[in-house]
Amino acid sequence: MQSFRTELENPIVEKDIIDLEKKIREFREGKIDDEKFRSLRLARGVYGQRQPGVQMVRIKLPFGKVTFKQLLRIADVSDEYASRNLHLTTRQDIQIHYVSLDRTPQLWADLERDDVTLREACGNTVRNVTASPTAGIDPLEPFDVSPYAQGTFEYFLRNPVNQDMPRKFKIAFSSSDEDTAYSYAHDLGFIPKVNAKGERGFKVLLGGGLGAQPILANIVSEFLPEDQLIPYIESTIRVFDRYGERNNRNKARFKYVIQKFGLEEVLNLIKLERVANNVKTYQINTEAVDQPTLPEPIKFGDVQVSNPLGYEQWLATNVFEQKQKGFYGVYIKVQTGDIPTEQARKLVALLQPLAGDEIRITQNQGLLLKYIRKEAFTTLYNGLAAIGMAAPGFDSVADVTTCPGTDTCNLGISNSMTFARVLEDLIYNEYEDLIYNRDIKIKISGCMNSCGQHSMAHIGFHGSSLKAGAKVLPSMQVMLGGGTVGDGVGRAGDRVIKIPAKRATQVLRDILDDYKTNSIEDEVFHNYYDRQGKDYFYQMLKPLADLTTLTDEDFVDWGHVESYEKAIGVGECAGVVIDLVATLLYESDEKMEWANQSFSAGAWADAIYHSYNVFINSAKALLLDKGINSSTQVGIIREFDAQYVATGEFELNTSFNDLLLQINQNEPSEEFATIYVAAAAEYLRNVKAKREAVLQS
Residue type, 219: I
- HSE value, Cβ hemisphere, 13 Å, CA-based, for 371: 19
Residue 11: predicted pLDDT: 86
For 610-659, how does the pLDDT look when each residue is reduced to its tens digit (9 = 90+)?
999 999 999 999 998 888 999 999 999 999 999 999 999 999 999 999 99
Measured CA to CA, the distance from residue 256 to residue 327 in angstroms comes to 45
Radius of gyration of the chain (CA): 26
Using alpha carbons, select from 466, 447, 474 the residue that is nearest to residue 559: 474
pLDDT above 60 (res 568): no
Provide the mean pLDDT of the chain.
93
Question: Can you give 503-563 as a three-state secondary structure string?
Answer: HHHHHHHHHHHHHHHHCCCCCCHHHHHHHHCHHHHHHHHHHHHCHHHCCHHHHCCCCCCCC
288 three-state secondary structure: coil
Query: Range with the lowest mean pLDDT among 83-97, 199-213, 485-499, 556-570?
Result: 556-570
- HSE value, Cβ hemisphere, 13 Å, CA-based, for 124: 26
Measured CA to CA, the distance from residue 612 to residue 661 in angstroms comes to 9
For 273-326, how does the pLDDT look when each residue is reduced to its tens digit (9 = 90+)?
999 999 999 999 999 999 899 999 999 888 999 999 999 999 999 999 999 999
Residue type, 249: R
For residue 352, count other CB atoms closer than 10 A to its CB: 12
Is 341 within 8 Å of 78 (Cβ atoms)?
yes
Residue 354: predicted pLDDT: 97
Residue 575's pLDDT band (cuts 50, 70, 90): very low
Query: Range with the lowest mean pLDDT among 412-416, 511-515, 565-569?
Result: 565-569
Residue 48: predicted pLDDT: 87
pLDDT above 90 (res 188): yes
Query: Range with the lowest mean pLDDT among 47-51, 249-253, 292-296, 409-413?
Result: 409-413
CATH 3.40.50.720 fits 4-112, yes or no: no
Using alpha carbons, select from 131, 161, 162 the residue that is nearest to residue 145: 131
Ramachandran angles phi, psi of 44, nearest 5°: -115, 25
Cβ-in-10-Å burial (0-12, 13-18, 19+) of 552 comes to exposed
For 484-495, how does the pLDDT look when each residue is reduced to its tens digit (9 = 90+)?
999 999 999 999
Measured CA to CA, the distance from residue 283 to residue 609 in angstroms comes to 23
Once rounded to an integer, what is the mean pLDDT over residues 99-126? 94
Residue 581: predicted pLDDT: 80
Fold classified for 404-555: Sulfite Reductase Hemoprotein; domain 1 (3.30.413)
Q: Fold match between 130-276 and 581-696? A: no
Write down the CATH number for the domain with range 581-696. Answer: 1.20.120.330
Residue 5: predicted pLDDT: 44
Higher-confidence residue: 22 or 6?
22
Once rounded to an integer, what is the mean pLDDT over residues 171-199? 98
416 three-state secondary structure: coil
pLDDT above 90 (res 542): yes
Residue 577: predicted pLDDT: 36
Residue 260 parent element (H or E): helix 254-261
Residue 30: predicted pLDDT: 85
DSSP assignment of 449-462 equals T-TT-GGGSSEEEE
Measured CA to CA, the distance from residue 97 to residue 53 in angstroms comes to 11
Residue 409: predicted pLDDT: 81
- CB neighbours of 279 closer than 8 A, spacing ≥ 6? 230, 231, 234
Using alpha carbons, select from 144, 119, 130 the residue that is nearest to residue 187: 130
pLDDT above 90 (res 108): yes
Q: Which residues of 126-140 are buried (b: 16+ CB within 10 A; e: fewer)?
A: bbbbbbbbbbbbbee
Using alpha carbons, select from 23, 32, 12 the residue that is nearest to residue 101: 23
Once rounded to an integer, what is the mean pLDDT over residues 531-549? 97
Measured CA to CA, the distance from residue 344 to residue 224 in angstroms comes to 40
Q: Which residues of 522-535 are buried (b: 16+ CB within 10 A; e: fewer)?
A: eeebbebbeebeee
The CA–CA distances, whole Å, from 437 to 152, 453, 646 equal 34, 19, 66
The CA–CA distances, whole Å, from 612 to 191, 581, 642 equal 33, 18, 19
Measured CA to CA, the distance from residue 115 to residue 96 in angstroms comes to 17
Using alpha carbons, select from 375, 395, 379 the residue that is nearest to residue 332: 395
Residue 2: predicted pLDDT: 44
Residue 144's pLDDT band (cuts 50, 70, 90): very high
Residue 407's pLDDT band (cuts 50, 70, 90): confident
Fold classified for 308-386: Alpha-Beta Plaits (3.30.70)
Residue 583's pLDDT band (cuts 50, 70, 90): confident
Measured CA to CA, the distance from residue 554 to residue 500 in angstroms comes to 6
Interior CA angle at 31 toward 27 and 32, to 5°?
60
Measured CA to CA, the distance from residue 72 to residue 66 in angstroms comes to 10
| Secondary structure percentages of the chain, helix, strand, coil, to 5 | 45, 15, 40
For 374-396, how does the pLDDT look when each residue is reduced to its tens digit (9 = 90+)?
999 999 999 999 999 999 999 99
pTM: 0.93
In the chain, what are the domain boundaries? 4-112, 130-276, 308-386, 404-555, 581-696
Is 559 within 8 Å of 417 (Cβ atoms)?
yes
Edge-to-edge strand ranges of the sheet holding 471-480? 401-402, 442-445, 459-468, 471-480, 494-500
For residue 436, count other CB atoms closer than 10 A to its CB: 14
393 three-state secondary structure: coil
Write down the CATH number for the domain with range 130-276. Answer: 3.30.413.10
285-291 long-range CB contacts below 8 Å, 24 or more apart? 285/147, 285/151, 286/144, 286/147, 287/147, 288/147, 288/150, 288/151, 288/154, 289/65, 289/136, 289/144, 289/146, 289/147, 289/150
Measured CA to CA, the distance from residue 354 to residue 298 in angstroms comes to 8
DSSP assignment of 68-103 equals HHHHHHHHHHHHHHS-SEEEE-TTS-EEEEEE-GGG
